[in-house]
Structure 1
Amino acid sequence: MNCNKISILLISVLVLSKFTNAQSKGCLDSISFNKFYPSYFRADNATNSLANYAPQVDESDNVYFSGRTSFNSNPNYWSIIKFNANNKLVWYKNFKTDVFNPFNGGALLDIDEGASLTYASLFRNEPNPNSNSLIITKTDSAGNLKWSKIFKHALNPTISGGISEPRAGKNGDLFCTGHFADDFNTTVMALDSLGSIKWNKKYSHNTVFKYHSNGEFIEPLTDNTVVVAIPFFYNADDINDPAARLGTQLVKFSKVNGSIIDQKSFMLYDNTAATIPNRAKLQKINYDTASNQILLFFEDLGFGIHKHKFVLLDSNFNILKVAAYSNSVPLLSTEKVNISKTNIITITYPSQNVFPPDSFAYVSISNNIELIAQKKISLTNLGFPHRNFKVDLSYKKNGLLNFQLSTFTNLAQDYLYLYDNSPFYSGISPCLGNDTSIFSKVPVFAFPVTNPLIEQNGSTLLSVTDQVPGYPPIDLSLPKEEVCKQISICDTIKLFGTPYHCLSNPLDSFKIIRNPLCRRKTNWQVDTTAIKIISQTDTTLQVKYLQAYRGSIKVGFGGCSLTDSMAIEVYAPKTAVSLGKDTMLCPGKTITLYAGAGFTNYQWQDGSTADSLVIAQTGNYIITATDSCGNVFKDTITVTPLDVALNVDYPPGLCLNDTAVFNLPAPLYNFTWQPNTASLLTNNLWKLYPTVTTVYSISAEREPGCILSDTVLITIKNCPDYIYFPNAFTPNKDGLNDVYKPTVSGRIILYEFSIYNRYGQPVFKSNTPNQGWNGNFNNSQKPLPGGYVWHCRYQFINQPLVQKKGMFILIR
């Protein structure tokens, strides 16, 4: 893209912004291919295990990397270089090294919270080619050297093994791990911000027969711990022995003193029965502070087939997910695998069919270890020189990848290219590249293992030597040429669709309005348990609903925080609308009638359109409701006045020691009254026996929430105690004198009453003054007239026992 085209795009953006309403700031970025010439890097010399030029990005998207360089025909230089977010050189520092005692700052491995840069390299201890000393160097963010030190085995500097891979923790602390051939125990070392050893400890395995450690990887966590991943094999002395069992052990140490806090192990298998062990080797460990998750990367190479395995764990080493990817077409070159701080994975390959390679491809995998994109970049179309190159990358914000391509040749000057690309960009162009297919998912399974366990076993004695470059750094310039550029402006997104849908027609569609200059892929997000995506483009989505659902459809742009969403409700077709059973209106209360959710339209007889109606009067109420499928339903409810009242009246005056009795209405329940002393309620029979004049308040429910209440005054009188026996009664069921019993005034505590006929036969007995005789005897419904004798024993409260007898006549 030339400058004129870029200007046209920018003008279009300015015009568009006048009539689009952005949801938030969005993502304004670009991809570009930039050439820097001449390059002084010795890309062909990046051979040690801590690869040269390993790039890192700070919080402002500044890109740093370092490595061996050749300057003025002298190959013994080490350089640090910084580019800003727009791939413009900020500074280039070139340190001259000593040929006989090399100062080699090494590859850039980490940037700590204080913006200090940490570098490391391995220095071979002759004559043993397998013996390595670790060189750690720190600079500030301006490339000024802070310190540089060499760490060796103190007792045997030429012993095989070594310490490698320093990782930055908080406060500038560094953590390293490794082992030596004297005992092959795992060594873990902690350094402070000045490179002094805080603690150094050794750990051994004593629980598994023929256990062999196969390397170590270390990663600080956000809490006060550090985790070490230890690949191991056992049951054989050779890892290639078919009998060997391979696994990975995770051990959590205290950052303060190296004490063991937790440890777990697992093994990978190619089948669910765990009978086919997977022989992939652990290559990297990474910790995402945002999700608090640990990612392990394994690799299994053979005959051009590259199998990559990923295991995702929480910070307590519980396995969350595993995934594996393999290429179908053989790859002849070695890939480069990078993992971002948020566990985004990128695998990069130079082209396979041309030498020197004329293209490269990359695969991007999400922090949920799912494929994001696979792209191929033709370098010939971008004017890339026909020569060998090394490729590496770093991660910028919004999902941008910053590739670094360094050429190397013995015949001409070399180039350095910085190339921003994104797996989230759509479209095809020389600058964007083309979508391709390299990897597909293959089965892999992880199962926990109870052993092995490690324990502390002394420490490794290390020597520490300061190394200082013999000359001050040389500042270099690096002219930039922008080969191509594609601008992307994702500042607008608006989702349109229907919020309600009927399941009888399960298909639905949504669309968005987006800035035409947005190059990012649209990312549609749905609940796959309830919604199946039929098709999708950058502006439309076709779905099929699988079940009734209440949730949302969400849309955004890949790698960008700008999103929009729509709440949706999917209903099964309705069968009816119901207001419930007919009900009663409680005096002074209101009733809320509910028609139920899930209808698109409601219509009450008064014209209101809500799904509920509040009423304060009796009558008939009608609802008409329409569901999402267009079905119309009606229902009616009748609201009547309350069918009962609570009225408690009592004649004036209650004799002291007597009882006032009320027969309360049966439909009422949950009776409460005050005062609740000298009272009793049994089967809706309310008895009061106060000793002083009292006002009682009583309440009861007819229906939940419908409470009735009343009050009654009970006036106490001092009445004489007496009992009166009538001399006749007429049981003819006319409501007058139909029962023979005495009239009692006062409180009786003992009462025995009997009636006998003329033959001395007992015809009636009672212990209750209120119970009398109706004239029937031996189930006869016709009382016999004549004279009868009564006997009574009774006693009033605080009075003596009395016995009396007398006669009365039954008149028909």
Structure 2
Amino acid sequence: MEIVSNIFSKEIKSVFPVMIYLFVLTHITGQISAQDTSFQLILDDNITSFGNKIYISQDGHEMYLWHRYGSAGIGWGFNLIPLKDSLAGNFVSYEIGNSIQYSAVHAKHYYFANDNLFVALGPISSPLSDAFLKVNLKDGIAFMKRFPAEASLAGSIDGQSIFFAAPFSQYSTPVGYQKGIQFGQADLDLNIQWIRSFEISSSLIDSLEDVGLPKLVTHSSGYYYCLWNISDGFNLHPCVLKFDTEGNVVSGQIIVGGGYYDDIKAASDGVYLTGSVDTIITDQKSNNHLLLTKVDLDLNPLWSKVYFAESFKMRQASLSLIDDTFPVVAYSTFGYFPTILARLDQDGNITEQKGYPLYSPLIGVLPDGSLVQLSVLWNQGNVKTIVSKTKSDGSIDGCPVFPTCLNYLPRSFDTSPLSFSEIQVGFSYTEMVQLAIDSTPVLLHDYCDIPMPPSGEFQVQDTICNSQPIMASGQQNINAHGIKWNLVGPGLDTAWLDSQSVYFVPDVPGTYMLSQTVWHLGCSVSDTSIITVLPPLSIGLPAQSKLCNPPGILSLDTSRPLTNLTWSTGETTHSIEITTGGHYAVTATDGYCTATDSIDVVFVSETLGGQPPLELPPDTTVCRQHLPYMLSPQSNFTDSFLVNGRLHVNTPAELFRPGEYEVAALIEGCAFPDTFQLDTSACHVKVYFPSAFSPNGDGINDEYKPLAGKDVEMLELWIFDRWGGLRHHSKGALGSWDGRGAPEGTYVAKLKFRNLLTGFEEMREADFTLLR
């Protein structure tokens, strides 16, 4: 949809020559109430932003959006968008004054009557004080008159006059300050017809210190109901008053039970009071909630309820009555997704509710139950002004609505009567200005750009090392009204409130549970993740940094399986072979934790300076009878040796059997090995027995004597003839037989000797021949 309208402007002179007022009026036409329609529009970028109030006519056929702007020294003013009988209405801009004499303009109350919009303005500094503004919506004529300060407006039943209510305070001698409320009637040209003023008293209030801004409504019965708050200097006391068309007070009651009320609606069966109350409900963070109270038409208590939603602090509320009977309430907070529209029964029970996403809007409920929203969004100097209206069922064509979780609880209250005494209070008013208009085009466009609804979902690494943080990502909570993170783990149960993310470094390994709960439109959604926090990865290189001989092997021990490791040599295996000493480092990871270790390696063999680490005797053969053999290894670097695995320190090794022996020198924890071969034999010695001798004195073979080597010690020699007769016996190494007196023949020699290889005595014999 694209709507084109015209802006009208003309300079208007006040009856006071020092003041100049400029009013600008635009008109866009369409249908609002002729049929059940909805729309959502964005204003053209060249339109000044606005968004202080929404004005809705009593029948819901006219709707105006009000924005106050300006500053002291520059001037003050306000803008209006009338949405009259269509999807959009005239854009109206009013500039009030460019003199420092004027302070801010506040539009406090309004009323529609016979194509006229009446607005109570205030405060405007002298000479205006508070004033009533009348704008004729047909011909664009507008003027202001001074009226009682902080007045509230309501219309007569026939729509031909205006009733107003306002607080007053005056000093009167000898009474002193008199404070109370005054009622009045004016015609549609704002000419006051009568004013009546009443002092207020109550058994609950010792001293009346302040009378707040009243709110006035008309009932179809012809009576008027007025709501305002009075103060005794310590507490606020909400008051409700009923008076007739002559200004006669019928009834007045103080609402007892706490809370602050700022709006009133008259229904066919009673009067609704809308406000807020600060109270803690369950464990919610937000404690400012909507308060709705109903009294009957004679101001007797009926019921009171507190409406609340989790993490949904009340910003504003709007109440309307379908068929003057069934309440429909809009309840909003700040940010995106801030508005809940709820239909109630006559007892205040919620029968239906919906939610809306527009950013921090002004809200208003029309008499058919539809919701009007005005959202002004500033973004880096750009302004988006969005106007939205639902159908009577709360839906918007082409735009989504959202589920909500508005709850309510009953609240006890009572009433206490007020007393009134009429007094005289002086008052005067002055007409200020009349206006005319010119025109300028304005555009509105269809708009349904919905922000991302908050979600409790998030991502977090499911396994981490305990030196790493638990840190959420991917969360969609930026538009949430409340956020709560909760982390539970070994000896831990902690929470973070209203933090978009979480960052925590656990110092204890174990299983942790991280959950996020977010709230929007009073509803909560949650997500939970389980995180395993691993203990530090433990890796270890050999504790001994000295190796014996290259090549050596460096192997890595780990506390759990690895996904990757890298040595300073560039190798990536668990074990590496090294051929030189030096500094070696390794970095390893299991995919979560990382650990490093290093070692300075020294090869002991490289420290020996080229000398042999072990010296052994040559391989040796010994007699069995000479075992054990005493082996004494030698080294210039140690006195500790291993012989077949047994340690010998400064002592020789006894070898009891022949064979190959493994011998090692132990030098700085390294075994430098060699072998030693020990052999044994029977240790047989050779003895030579001559086969014959000739004792004839020729000097050749004249004696018979056995011959042996150095390993034989001769002990005894016996000579026997062939019949066994002893012919000779001698002892000692020089024993021999000269054959004297013996005939030729065969003889037997027996020799006793000591085998010096074995140490044992042995006997041998042999035959020989004596020759003559």
The two structures have a TM-score, normalised by structure 1, of: 0.44
Comparing both chains, which one has the higher relative contact order based on Cα–Cα distances under 8 Å and sequence gaps of 6 or more?
A: 1
The alignment's TM-score, normalised by the length of structure 2, stands at 0.46
